[in-house]
Amino acid sequence: MGFYTLVASFLCTIVLPILLFLAAVKLWEIYIIRGRDPNCRSPLPPGTMGLPFLGETLQMVLQRRKFLRMKRQKYGFIYKTHLFGSPTVRVVGADNVRQILLGEHKLVEVQWPASVRAILGSDTLSNVHGTQHKNKKRAILKAFSRDALELYVPVIQEEVRCAVKGWLQSASCVLVYPEMKRLMFRIAIRILLGFQPEQIKTDEQELVEAFEEMIKNLFSLPIDVPFSGLYRGLKARNFIHSKIEENIKKKIQDGTDERKHKDALQLLIENCRKSAEPLSTQEIKESATELLFGGHETTASTATSLVMFLGLHPNVAHNVRQELREKGLTGICCEERALSIELLERLKYTGCVIKETLRINPPVPGGFRVALKTFELNGYQIPKGWNVIYSICDTHDVAEVFPNKEAFHPERFMTKSSEDTSRFNYIPFGGGSRMCVGKEFAKVLLKIFLVELTAECNWTLLNGPPTMKTGPTVYPVDNLPTKFSSYVDN
C-alpha cells in the first residue's frame, strides 16, 4: 500500500502539473492559431507562441539579440511569436521590410507596445497618424532644418570639448557608456528642449536618474501595480514631465525672441498657437519627452559604439585623423577648430565610419506596426490585428549587398554604388513616412563628436571587445572602461 501511495503522490505532485502545463501551452497555441484569417489560404508563419498570456516576452527581454538570432536561424526571415501581450510576426530582410515600411496606412500602421504608449504617451509623433502626424512632423522638422543645425554646431562643440577635457584629466579609467549618456543628455536638453546651462546644473542629476529609470522600464509587461516595471517607468516619466512643464511655462512667459534659435519645444509651442487644433500641455510634454528619448539615447549608443570600434581598429582612427589633417582640423588648439555644416559634409571618410558603425550596431533594433487588414508576405498570412515588428539589426546581419559583413570596413560606403544598393538593406533610421525626423541632427552630432574625439585623444579599451546587449538601445555590458590620453599631431 505504501508503494502505491508513493506512486500516486508522485503522479499528483510532479507528473500531473507537468501534463497540465503542457496541455495549457498546447491550448494556448491552438487559441492563437484560431486567430488566423480563414479567408486567406496562406499559412501563418512558423514559430512558437511561448507561455500562456506571457508569450515569449521574458525570453526576449532577458536575451534580446541572442533570442532574436536563435529565432531567425530556426524559423527564417518571417516567424510568429507572442510579445508584450500580443500575437506578433517578426520580419527580417530587405524585400520583406520594404513591403512593411512602404505599406504604412495601407497594410500596417505604427503601434508600439502598450507599455511604450503608456509611458511615452499615445499622442506622440511615433504613435499618431494621418493629419495629426503630418502637422507634428512638420513642426518638429523645422528644428532640424539646415539653418537650425548650423546654430547647434557651437553648442555641441562646447559640450563635447568639456566632456573630452574631463576624460583626459581623469586619473582612472572612464566608463564610456554612462559618460556618453550624460553628454548626449546635456546636448539634447539644451538643443531640443531649450534648457539653459544654469538649469542643467541644478536639475541634471535628478533628470538623468529619472530618465534612466523610465528607459529601463519602457518595454515591460503592461501591468501597472506598485513596484512593477510599468509603475516605476510612469513615476519617473511624471517627474520628467514636471521639469518640462516648468520650461514650457517659462517659454510662454518669456514670449518669442527672434534673435535666438528656436528649439524643438519652442517650435511645438508656437505651432500650437497657430494651429486650429492646438496641443494640450500634456501633449507638448509627451512630445518633448519623446524628443529627449530619440535625441539622446540613440546617439549615446552610437557614440559608445564609435569609441569601441575605433579602439579596436586603430587604422580607422588613423584614417579619420588623416582626413582631419587634410582639412586643417588637427594640430591646432580646440578653440580654433571652427566647424560648420559645410565643412562637416566634406568629411566623407568620417561619415563612412559613422555609417559602418550604424550598420553593425544600429542603436534601435527594430520598429513596431499593427496589421490593418490580413495580407500576404512572402507566402505567409499576416492576420488583421496582429503586431508586426520589422528588424533593423537582423536585416543588416543578413544583407548580401555587404560582402564580409562581420568586418568593420568603412570604405565600403565610399562608393556611390554602395549607397544605391543598400536601400532597405541598410535602415538604421527606419524608412518610409516614419523615417527618423532627427536623422540629420544625429549625423551632425556624431560627426562633431568624432572630430573632437579623434583630434584630441588616443584611447585604449581596457577590457577589449565587450559583450553588447539591447535594452532598449544597444550598449556594452561592461560600460566600456577606457583610458584616454592626449593625441599629439606630428
Mean pLDDT of 242-260: 74
Instruction: Give the single-character DSSP code of 466.
Output: P
3-state secondary structure at position 386 = coil
Position 8 scores a pLDDT of 63
Q: Three cell numbers at 195?
A: 534648457
Mean pLDDT score of the chain: 85
Q: Three cell numbers at 343?
A: 565643412
Q: Residues marked as binding?
A: 436
- CA–CA gap between residue 321 and residue 305 (Å, rounded): 18
Q: Which residue has the higher pLDDT, 278 or 448?
A: 448
List, in order of start, the domains of the chain with CATH numbers: 35-486 (1.10.630.10)
Q: Residues marked as binding for heme?
A: 436
Nearest CA to 386 among 104, 83, 97? 83
How many Cβ atoms from other residues are within 10 Å of residue 284's Cβ? 22
Predicted TM-score (pTM) of this structure = 0.86
Residue 32 has pLDDT above 90, yes or no: no
Position 317 scores a pLDDT of 96
Mean pLDDT lowest among 99-103, 131-135, 372-376, 463-467:
131-135
Q: What is the pLDDT of residues 120-179, one digit of tens each?
A: 887 788 777 777 778 778 877 888 889 889 989 999 999 999 999 999 998 889 999 999
Total length of the chain = 490
Q: What residues are paired with 469 via a beta bridge?
A: 475
Q: Three cell numbers at 121?
A: 504617451
Question: Measured between alpha carbons, how far is residue 72 from residues 33, 47, 65, 90 in Å?
Answer: 20, 10, 10, 9
Position 436 scores a pLDDT of 86
Q: What is the pLDDT of residues 326-385, one digit of tens each?
A: 999 887 777 778 899 999 999 999 999 999 999 999 998 899 999 999 999 999 999 999
Residue that the C-alpha cell 570604405 belongs to: 411
Contact 272, 145 (CB under 8 A): no
